[in-house]
Amino acid sequence: MMEAVFDRVPRSEVFMQTGIQFMRINTLYQVMSLLEQNSPQLEIADILLMAPDLLNYWLTGVKVSEFSNATTTQMYNPILETWAVEMLESIGLPTHILPEIVMPGTKLGSYEGIPVIAPACHDTGSAVAAVPTAIKNHAYISSGTWSLLGLEVEKPIITEAALVANVTNEGGVYGTYRLLKNITGMWLVQQCRQTWAEEGRVFSYGELVELAGMASPFMSFIDPNDTVFLPAGDHPKWVQAYCSNSGQSVPMTKGAILRTILESLALKYRQTLDTLQYLAGQHVEVIHIMGGGSQNELLNQMTADATGLPVYAGPIEATVLGNALVQLISLGEIDDLAQGRQVVAGSGEEKLYEPHQSEAWEHAYKRFRQLSVDQDYEN
HSE on the CB side for 329, CA within 13 Å?
24
The pLDDT value given to residue 357: 79
- Average pLDDT rounded to a whole number, residues 332-360: 93
Specify the fold of 2-117. Nucleotidyltransferase; domain 5 (3.30.420)
pLDDT tens digits, residue range 220-279?
999 999 999 999 999 999 999 999 999 999 999 999 999 999 999 999 999 999 999 999
Q: Is 123 a catalytic residue?
A: yes
CA angle 55, 183, 243 (to 5 degrees): 145
Distance CA 118, CA 125 (A): 12
- Average pLDDT rounded to a whole number, residues 19-44: 94
Query: Are 2-117 and 122-379 equal in CATH topology?
Result: yes
In the chain, where do the E strands start and end?
64-66, 76-77, 82-83, 100-102, 107-111, 114-117, 138-143, 146-153, 168-171, 177-184, 286-290, 311-313, 351-353
Distance CA 61, CA 83 (A): 22
Give the dihedral sign, CA 45/51/56/59.
positive
123, 223, 274, 374: the catalytic one is: 123
HSE on the CB side for 15, CA within 13 Å?
17
Distance CA 231, CA 187 (A): 10
Q: Is the pLDDT of residue 28 over 60?
A: yes
HSE on the CB side for 72, CA within 13 Å?
20
The pLDDT value given to residue 11: 97
Q: In the CATH scheme, what is the code of domain 122-379?
A: 3.30.420.40
User: Are the C-beta atoms of 326 and 173 separated by less than 8 Å?
Assistant: yes
pLDDT tens digits, residue range 297-319?
999 999 999 999 999 999 999 99
pLDDT confidence tier of residue 347, bands split at 50, 70 and 90:
confident
Distance CA 183, CA 72 (A): 16
Q: Which residues contact 2 (CB under 8 A, 6 or more apart)?
A: 22, 24, 29
- For the chain, the structural domain boundaries read 2-117, 122-379
Distance, CA of 322 to chain centre? 15
DSSP string, 30-70: HHHHHHHTT-HHHHH-S----HHHHHHHHHH---EEEHHHH
The pLDDT value given to residue 374: 75
Q: Is the pLDDT of residue 13 over 90?
A: yes
The pLDDT value given to residue 349: 82
Q: Is the pLDDT of residue 375 over 80?
A: no
pLDDT confidence tier of residue 348, bands split at 50, 70 and 90:
confident
Specify the 3-state DSSP secondary structure of 137: coil
- Average pLDDT rounded to a whole number, residues 109-114: 96
Q: 328-365 b/e with 16+ CB inside 10 Å = b?
A: bbbeeebeebeebbeebbeeebbeebebeeeeebeebb
pLDDT tens digits, residue range 179-210?
999 999 999 999 999 999 999 999 999 999 99
